[in-house]
Structure 1
Amino acid sequence: MRIEVEDLHVAYAGRTVVAGARLIAAAGEITGLIGPNGSGKSTLLRTVYRHLRPVEGRVLLDGTDILTMAPSRSARHIAALPQERGGDFELTVREVVAMGRTPYKRAFAGEDATDRDIVARALRDVGMGGHAGRRFTALSGGERQRVLLARAFTQDPDVLVLDEPTNHLDIRHQVELLTLLRSGRRTTLVSLHDLNAAASVCDRLHVLHAGAVVASGPPREVLTPPLLADVFGVRAAVVDHPLTGDPLIAIDHRAPADDETAGTAGTAGTSTTHSGRPHLVDGPSG
């Protein structure tokens, strides 16, 4: 299934956080959101999984406004891993993961064999198959992240919405998670701080800056030194990864980009933001 965000405006705590965002997460592709802190990534994702309601604009699931769908129906299609984990669950790992089956159950209905198989498979997929009986509150941050991802998998969704899913994970589990996302080939909309991870796992990137989408396209076209300077404020070179051939971003950690470096060149057309600084843009997503 395909997600379309049309002219989205979202306010949070009395402040406009997303202003006129337009993007597409194509069916079966991994679509990444990148941008500096405060650019609106989490707010946009919260709107996609109905935690927030837009002031203007729409989120469409295969052409249907998600706000016209019953919550139980949209929950069967869209599963989310929010950045905030909420309160601690006084439940076992298995009980937390089984909560993902709720959209498919009638009130007071118990588990059946299908539910049990789905829960067991999700725990194995995230490397937590041997921890089903542990208390969720006894887990490390990385283990909790994997359990909550397993809960999203048990919804058997058409669309995954993931907000910084590699938070709290060590390097090995980050690689395993990203490999799992690529092998699943579900429609996935994911925000990532790690630009090299985004370049490796995502089919398409949307760059958010000050609540607006300022660049869209394949990682190799989007992740250019001028954009990295203009949006992220860093000096960087983009080279080929020696193992995978993906774009590899080498950042100068000794000094940020200065104003003369930011936005001085580009590989696509240019436009002008509200601040008057150039940014890379492409045509409407297809």
Structure 2
Amino acid sequence: MRTAIEDLQVTLSGRTVVSGVRIVAGEGEVAGLVGPNGSGKSTVLRTVYRHLRPHAGRVVVGDRDVRELTAAEAARRVAALPQERGSDFELSVREVVAMGRTPYKRAFAGDDGRDAAVVAEALEQVGMAGEGRRRFSALSGGERQRVLLARALAQDPSVLVLDEPTNHLDVRHQVELLALLRQQRRTTLIALHDLNAAASVCDRLHVLHRGAVVASGTPREVLTPALLAEVFGVRAAVVEHPLTGDPLIAFDHRSPVAREVPVA
């Protein structure tokens, strides 16, 4: 489902943290938000899943402003895996994932066969099949991450919002998660620190710097040595990945670039 962030401005404690942000994710597109810490990535995503109310501008999912939807309608359209994640659920893995089915139920309704099938499929997708009876609170950080992703998938949203979803995952599960996102072809907004992962999984990238979008385009168009120097303050070469053909950033760890290097 097409998602448009239109002229977004967010003010927190009297300080404007993002301003004039415009981002469009087409139906089935994986749109990446990248930028240094404090650039506004998480703030923008929080407005999409209604954790924050913008001071100006709006977020349109499909043909509706998300603020005009009921809570259940919004949850059927948008599912999120935020950075702020509960870690003390005294529930089983299956019960946590089944929470994703709540927007489709009447109050106090139990699970039916359809719910059970969706939950089982979500656990299979994240590599946690057969773990449904384990206590969520007993899981490792990476396992919790995968279970919470399964909960978002069980919600069967039109739009998936992921804020640093590869945190806590080992290399294998990072690769599997990114491959899953590409296979799903579900409209996805994802914030990533790992620029090579972003280049691999995203159809388009939106670079945020000091609360504004400073570049948008395909990974190949956006991830240039000049932009990496200006926005991230690093010296790097961009080459072709030998296995996938995606842009691959090789960072110079010995000679960080001066921050005043201008974008060409």
TM-score in same-fold range (> 0.5) = yes
Corresponding position of 2:249: 249
Q: Which amino acid aligns with 1:190?
A: I
Corresponding position of 2:74: 74
Corresponding position of 1:135: 135
1:263 aligns with 2:262: yes
Q: Secondary structure at the match of 1:102?
A: helix
Corresponding position of 2:21: 21
Deviations 1:227-253 (A, max 9, x none): 000000000000001111100000111
Describe how 1:89-128 pairs up with structure 2 within 5 A.
Answer: 89-128=89-128
Q: Distance in 1 between matches of 2:136 and 2:15?
A: 35
Closer, same or farther in 2 for the Cα pair 1:129/1:13, shift >3 Å? farther
Q: Distance in 2 between matches of 1:8 and 1:167?
A: 27
Deviations 1:172-199 (A, max 9, x none): 0000000000000000000000000000
Structure 2 residue runs of 5 or longer lacking an equivalent are: none
Deviations 1:32-79 (A, max 9, x none): 000000000001000000000000000001232111111110100100
Q: Distance in 1 between matches of 2:170 and 2:243?
A: 20
Q: Which amino acid aligns with 1:263?
A: P
Answer whether contact 2:96 2:136 (CA < 8 A) is retained: yes
CA RMSD of aligned residues (A): 0.9
Q: Distance in 2 between matches of 1:18 and 1:25?
A: 18
1:148 aligns with 2:154: no
1:165 aligns with 2:159: no
1:187 aligns with 2:156: no
Q: Distance in 2 between matches of 1:172 and 1:12?
A: 38
Structure 1 position 255, deviation (Å): 2.4
Corresponding position of 1:271: none
Answer whether contact 2:87 2:137 (CA < 8 A) is retained: no
Answer whether contact 2:96 2:151 (CA < 8 A) is retained: yes
Deviations 1:91-127 (A, max 9, x none): 0000000000000000011100000000000001000
Q: Secondary structure at the match of 2:73?
A: helix
Q: Distance in 2 between matches of 1:104 and 1:18?
A: 33
Corresponding position of 2:86: 86
TM-score by length of 1: 0.91
Structure 1 residue runs of 5 or longer lacking an equivalent are: 266-286
Describe how 1:25-36 pairs up with structure 2 within 5 A.
Answer: 25-36=25-36
Q: Secondary structure at the match of 2:88?
A: coil
Answer whether contact 2:25 2:187 (CA < 8 A) is retained: yes
Q: Secondary structure at the match of 2:165?
A: coil
Structure 1 position 254, deviation (Å): 1.4
**How many residues are paired up?**
264
Deviations 1:131-162 (A, max 9, x none): 11010010000000000000000010110000
Q: Distance in 2 between matches of 1:118 and 1:3?
A: 25
How high is the sequence identity, in percent, across the aligned residues? Answer: 72
